[in-house]
Structure 1
Amino acid sequence: MSVDTSGHIEETRLADALSERYLAYAMSTIMSRSLPDVRDGLKPVHRRMIYAMRQLRLDPTSGFKKCARVVGDVIGKYHPHGDASVYEALVRLAQDFAVRYPLVEGQGNFGSIDGDNAAAMRYTEARMTEVARALLEGIDDDSVDFRPTYDGEEQEPVVLSAAFPNLLANGAAGIAVGMATSIPPHNVGEICSAAIRLIRSPDATVADLMEDMPGPDFPTGGLIVEDRTTLLQAYETGRGSMRIRARWSVEQGRFGTWQVVVTEIPYQVQKSRLIEQIADLMEQKKLPLLGDIRDESTTDIRLVLEPKSRGVEPEVLMETLFRATALESRFALNMNVLGADRVPGVRSLREVLRAWLDHRHDVLQRRSRHRLQAVDRRLEILDGFLAVYLNLDEVIRIIREEDDAKAGLMATFSLTELQAESILNMRLRSLRRLEELEIRKEHAALTAERGDLTALLGSEPLRWKKITEEVKAIRKAFGAGALGTRRSELAAPPRAIELSAIEAVEREPLTLILSAKGWVKTLKGHGIDPTAQKFKEGDGFRLAVECQSTDRLCVFATDGRAFTLRAADLPRGRGDGQPIRLLIELSNDEDLVAVFPVREGTRHLLASSAGRGLVIRDEDLVAEKRTGKQVLNLKDAESARICLPVEGDHVVVLGQNRRMLVFPVAQLPEMARGLGVALQKYKEGGLMDACLLSSTDGAAWPDPARIRPFADFRDYLGKRADVGRPAPAWATRKPKPKTPAGG
């Protein structure tokens, strides 16, 4: 009995309604659009596209069909979304500069590395590649589950059988709601070698697997300039990043002239935009060593860079370009994928490989069971044929004389219904003696095959041996030749090149002014009264740092990161300047601890609010990227509090428990980055303040206007990580609000 609900209104809180609908949208985006499946490495749109092309019989050996036909079938039968987005996905699968192992073979204009768009779908044609066919291998053998399509009229695979390790080979990228994925492509020959190692040694670590697949292999080649430790950590955690540089060489000209030729550019960098970027920087005079750039590319990339002076070293010229342009880019690794249980998660390299192998094991079992059922059915039919071949006259009599021939055959020869039906459907020409010999031959072959299948299903070692053979076949088919040869070279991190001395920046004294609200600017000269400067309404002076125009400035923040800014790049003049958060990627929740010029040979003391610290060289604080460099590691709810130049031989530490400790600087380790060691032991609270103390000159602390001699601190000498003694009254006076330290 149906209930009439017309006109029924159900009241609900707006917050509850929005929450319920947004959660449904988020889950749909995560599971049905943005994240790939760890087993076949495909998103739903790609899986449906390949399956639709198979239904259209677009095999690698068949002819091409219009892309409009393919897109129409995809959106009409399987994927109820816009045709433009589906066509864009198809185009990308055909671009050899976007996909390491294309799944679609295109005919017509499918775009270029310059960023040109593909022709309209009515002009282009497509068919599957051998890689796509490998992904579909055995899909008719009950190897995977199927589900109804959105309208219930068709069936589509939940996942492909994936005889090809597509997730790692082609990578993936996508942005869902609250999560994203970014997986680089790899060399399939190396993936297969690592998979075989994992089969033979199930306890193999990520480090072991990286002996076979040391890093990504991008379609556009280039140099991966990252050390093994960084890559290992990224593959172990499933998160990280790596630098990619263009491949270049020097061509010598007449009379000692030379030019640099770039033949490979980083992955996902459009060549036309790269040239525009370099041209814009040349116009802004930010590439003082580069004289000209020409694009001599045909089907292969060839960018010619001419120096302004032949006296410049090619390495120095390229270093300026790497730092300022997309000739060097950073690829973020985030292996966030859907598991077999449809739950998203970030997985390590070993977990991704294991998931693919487990899927292949499941596919092998399902295909073997399916084949075993087919063999048993055929053997049953053949047994019936052999049973009646000795009594053909009786079979003919029963068929001619009895009303129910099937029942008669079953009763006379003890046949099953399937055997009797097959005999009745037999053609007369099959009654020849030659045919009987063929049937006995087929029966023997199927009996042997049935024994092999039964043994395979009953033995896990045999199954893994079979999978190893399949993986070796994949490696042989796709890991050799022009398609399988490694394109990206794994290179050592480049040596540091000091550019301040050779860049065309006139050396002159500057004073950096930072306002209380984080606006920064520089004024020419030293000895400037910063308090006389004008600031925005509600803003005021915070700190001043005297430096040179050729200096690099270190900005140390409360999240433990160090950023590097070039003094010459900072805004000049007596205006308001520019927010420093536009120059560095620092969240609004964090603040600055110190700003100072980087000096070679100088060291700084870094300490956290928890009272841990370390000594670091200024060179290790340099970070030529907007995201900075994590130098002081912090635990939850901690922050960086101290950044002081090491200009003394002792450290003074004052805790929030009002106990003071003095110990030699030599007891602190010098590190390039880390969590640090304990400066002082606390039962509760943490670090309040610290300073550097000279045993000969004392220290201007806690009052910068008064220098206290070493004798005032002598009674508090101890060992690092001691509790200390109750601090004197002059040390525990309420300090003035701390501002970032200047140089």
Structure 2
Amino acid sequence: MASDLTDPATPIGVFDAPFDSALSERYLVYALSTITARSLPDVRDGLKPVHRRLLWAMRLLKLDPASGYKKCARVVGDVIGKYHPHGDQSVYDAMVRLAQDFALRYPLVDGQGNFGNIDGDNAAAYRYTEARLTQVAIDLMAGLDEDATDFRPTYNGEEQEPELFPGMFPNLLANGASGIAVGMATSVPPHNAAELFDAAIVLVDQPEADDAAVLAHVRGPDFPTGGIVVDSPAAIRESYATGRGGFRVRARHEIEREKGGGWQIVITEIPYGVQKGKLIEQIAALINDKKLPILTDVRDESDAEIRIVLEPRSRTVDPQVLMDGLFRLTDLETRVPLNLNVLDKDRTPRVMPLREALKAWVDHQFVVLRRRSEHRLAKIADRIELLDGYLAAYLNLDRVIAIIRTEDEPKPVLIAEFSLTDRQAEAILNMRLRSLRKLEEMEIRGERAKLEKEQAELTLLLSSDARQRTRMKRDLTRMRDRYGHETPLGKRRTTVEEAAPAREIPAEAMIEREPLTVILSQRGWVRALRGHVDLASADTARFKEGDGPAFAFHAHTTDKLLLATDGGRFYTLGADKLPGGRGFGEPVRAMIDLDGDARIVGLSRAAASDRLLLAATDGRGFAVRVADVLAETRKGKQVMSPRPGAKLKVVRPIAAEDDYVASIGDNRKLVLFPLTELAEMARGQGVQLQRFRDGGLSDARTLRFADGLHWTMGGETGRMRTESDLSPWRAARGAAGRMPPNGFPRDNRF
């Protein structure tokens, strides 16, 4: 209910209104202001208001490329005082970015002094730095004096400012843009101007050309910092066709070989928008945290050019593996987003495909061409009017002089006698005496003839679309030559080369391969000696009092180790994570969550074979693939589930050439059956390998039937005995078996 404003007690201007409607109205005004006057660029000149006002103020200060520099404080003062009533720091930050050659592909401001660097250091204060316009900015503002665009009053009504810049430079796509408004954002990467001009010429000839015709010239972004775009052509086409997407950008690197076979990687270009200082900190943190063990050092040897040196831990490291790891873990590979959300000619924000954005700029250039032509025609008409007056004066020079000398008010007399306009009469009266010579008359006639010729050409131009297209192509070609690939500024810096995503590097590839000797004691103390030590040496026989050897074998730091308990649970250990060989090692329970009553029955290299033979004390077992038992957690993985009262007893690798399974029980009965009869499972209890009347399983293994069975004789001689004919013990799986060959070990172990 509105208040009664006639009531003297009611304050003037205070009224009741629903809070939600009042808030929505005010927030909508704020949102529209942010979208249209702060955060989104115009598709026609690619500038936000703050950038446009900066360049306009510098133009009024006559800071063209041929003039001297002026303090940035002077420019910022003019901008915030006349055009942009916002904070001086935000205006100066915008100006600094326009001058940074690592931020803008084609800088619009030529800065002198400290304008920051690619390391991430800030610019000096504006009282220390100086600036002027670049030729690119001059090209972007060409036509401001020729009625090529509309002007509007500034915020206080004291000045005029252009609504947009009419120049023939595709600034939106060439320099890119980024910004966050209310409920929307924009992100346009920079492109190569020469390619944009080539594509624009195509659109002049074929206004309805499709995306493929444009992308035949625009190959992809062209960043000021170089780098490599590694997306596929299909992905690039999709991003440009929708106006949304992104580009994967990688650093450019090269491998420098050294004498003796060593090498190092040198980074020469980094992705766009990445600060070199923070990038080096990222890499150094990986080294310190040992997240990339194959990298040992990073050095910044940059001067004017970027040079970041990466040293591998050893020459045996694969350079591509190292780079893939860095691409995944650091900003040496980044994703630059594409969101072509801009203001169209009606100041409406919308996402445009690349072709549509470029077509909007081309259409704007036709408008500029017509407006400049009409402005020039008006100027020519004004000049011809004056020249006709001058010629009338020269043809009647004596009479003109007499009128000026004798008449108190010569202008009306001149107008009446010679049929002159007011402007013509005023121009005659303002002529200097030195102009009254024959040569001046001839020059005026020559100038008038030239102007008439130009007038006729412009009239034809405005009346013919074909002539306008021809003129536009000529002007675009001239600009393309100025920013061509053969020029230092126009040379393409970013390479477009499709590459697969950086591989997820397996943990073992991140570890330097070194030989180890792994030793596990009966009480569960584990250690790893450097090198492949003799398994019978004194180093391998050192244990705590009351302890003894359980497992000892050769491995490498890149290996994964499989540890199995009698409860059927498997654990995975990294060989590189094992404690060193000094002392007695450490309890393996500190590395994995091992049950208190669990007994270790197996420890081996995971790469020793593709499959394992598992057998429990009740004679049940199965084959399992190594990949199915690997577990990266401390809790491990339950693989075999023995029946009540039974325990996992045998964990042996299955060789590729093995074709039979041999099983022997506590009752000293041996049986052999084909490996094909053994079930392969990922987990479970398994199938019956051998049947027992009393006792249980003592040992089991796989073998090649044709090679026979081998075992070590007793004593210190180390002699081997072989039973080549195993036919008597061959039976079906689950048979009871028969006594083993004479001489077979009494402990019933293979």
Structure 2 length-normalised TM: 0.68
Separation of aligned partners in 1, 2:465 and 2:631: 64
Q: Report the CA distance shift for 1:572/1:436 in structure 2 as closer, same or farther (over 3 A).
A: farther
Residue in 2 that maps onto 1:299? 304
Q: Tell me, yes or no, if structure 1 residue 363 matches structure 2 residue 368.
A: yes
2:464 to 447, 459, 462: 459
CA displacement 1:183-227 (0-9 Å, x = unmatched): 000011111111111111222211111111110000000110000
Separation of aligned partners in 2, 1:6 and 1:81: 33
Identical columns (%): 57
Q: Tell me, yes or no, if structure 1 residue 89 matches structure 2 residue 142.
A: no
CA displacement 1:3-38 (0-9 Å, x = unmatched): 999644111122112111111111111111110000
Separation of aligned partners in 2, 1:493 and 1:453: 52
Separation of aligned partners in 2, 1:304 and 1:81: 44
Separation of aligned partners in 1, 2:370 and 2:631: 63
Q: CA deviation at 1:254?
A: 2.1
Q: Report the CA distance shift for 1:407/1:300 in structure 2 as closer, same or farther (over 3 A).
A: same
Q: CA deviation at 1:495?
A: 7.0
SS in 2 for 1:163: coil
Residue in 2 that maps onto 1:485? 491
Q: CA deviation at 1:404?
A: 3.0
Residue in 2 that maps onto 1:383? 388
Residue in 2 that maps onto 1:394? 399
**Bigger shift: residues 332-341 or 489-498:** 489-498
Residue in 1 that maps onto 2:335? 330
Amino acid at match of 1:386: L
Residue in 1 that maps onto 2:423? 418
Q: How does 1:293-692 map onto structure 2 within 5 Å?
A: 293-479=298-484, 480-494=486-500, 497=503, 499-500=505-506, 501-504=508-511, 507=560
SS in 2 for 1:256: coil
Q: CA deviation at 1:432?
A: 1.0
- Asked if the contact 1:224/1:242 (under 8 Å) is kept, the reply is yes
Separation of aligned partners in 2, 1:38 and 1:70: 26
Separation of aligned partners in 1, 2:14 and 2:571: 68
Separation of aligned partners in 2, 1:365 and 1:42: 22
Separation of aligned partners in 1, 2:490 and 2:374: 33
- Asked if the contact 2:44/2:361 (under 8 Å) is kept, the reply is yes
Whose Rg is larger?
A: 2
Q: CA deviation at 1:434?
A: 1.2
Separation of aligned partners in 1, 2:489 and 2:352: 27
Separation of aligned partners in 2, 1:398 and 1:164: 54
2:261 to 234, 253, 256: 256
Residue in 2 that maps onto 1:558? none
2:167 to 162, 178, 201: 162
Separation of aligned partners in 2, 1:569 and 1:42: 56
SS in 2 for 1:118: coil
Separation of aligned partners in 1, 2:571 and 2:383: 90
Residue in 1 that maps onto 2:723? none
Separation of aligned partners in 1, 2:157 and 2:145: 20
Q: CA RMSD for the aligned pairs?
A: 2.7
**Bigger shift: residues 316-325 or 383-392:** 383-392
Separation of aligned partners in 1, 2:141 and 2:129: 24
Separation of aligned partners in 1, 2:415 and 2:119: 73
Q: Tell me, yes or no, if structure 1 residue 11 matches structure 2 residue 16.
A: yes
Structure 1 length-normalised TM: 0.68
Separation of aligned partners in 2, 1:150 and 1:449: 40
Amino acid at match of 2:509: I
Separation of aligned partners in 2, 1:440 and 1:570: 95
SS in 1 for 2:493: coil
SS in 1 for 2:186: strand
**Bigger shift: residues 13-22 or 41-50:** 13-22
Q: Tell me, yes or no, if structure 1 residue 22 matches structure 2 residue 31.
A: no
Residue in 2 that maps onto 1:739? none
Separation of aligned partners in 2, 1:157 and 1:472: 27
**Structure 2 unmatched ranges of 5 or more:** 1-5, 512-557, 563-569, 573-589, 596-605, 608-628, 637-678, 680-750
**Bigger shift: residues 170-179 or 422-431:** 422-431
1:131 to 113, 136, 145: 136
CA displacement 1:47-104 (0-9 Å, x = unmatched): 0000000000000000000000010001000000000011111111111011000000
Residue in 1 that maps onto 2:275? 270
Q: Report the CA distance shift for 1:161/1:497 in structure 2 as closer, same or farther (over 3 A).
A: same
Separation of aligned partners in 2, 1:361 and 1:241: 31
1:110 to 112, 115, 120: 115
SS in 2 for 1:162: coil
CA displacement 1:232-256 (0-9 Å, x = unmatched): 0100000001100000011111211
Separation of aligned partners in 1, 2:47 and 2:354: 17
Separation of aligned partners in 1, 2:504 and 2:289: 22
Q: CA deviation at 1:506?
A: 5.9
CA displacement 1:547-591 (0-9 Å, x = unmatched): x99xxxxxxxxxxxxxxxxx99999689xxxxxxxxxxxxxxxxx
Separation of aligned partners in 2, 1:314 and 1:293: 15
SS in 2 for 1:306: strand
Separation of aligned partners in 1, 2:77 and 2:397: 55
Amino acid at match of 2:263: W
Residue in 2 that maps onto 1:175? 180
Q: CA deviation at 1:283?
A: 1.7
- Asked if the contact 2:592/2:634 (under 8 Å) is kept, the reply is no
Count of aligned pairs between the two proteins? 529
Amino acid at match of 1:274: L
Q: Report the CA distance shift for 1:230/1:428 in structure 2 as closer, same or farther (over 3 A).
A: same
**Structure 1 unmatched ranges of 5 or more:** 513-522, 529-547, 550-566, 575-696, 698-743
Amino acid at match of 2:302: S
Residue in 2 that maps onto 1:243? 248
Separation of aligned partners in 1, 2:317 and 2:559: 18
- Asked if the contact 2:325/2:502 (under 8 Å) is kept, the reply is no
Q: Report the CA distance shift for 1:58/1:568 in structure 2 as closer, same or farther (over 3 A).
A: farther
Separation of aligned partners in 2, 1:163 and 1:526: 71
Residue in 1 that maps onto 2:156? 151
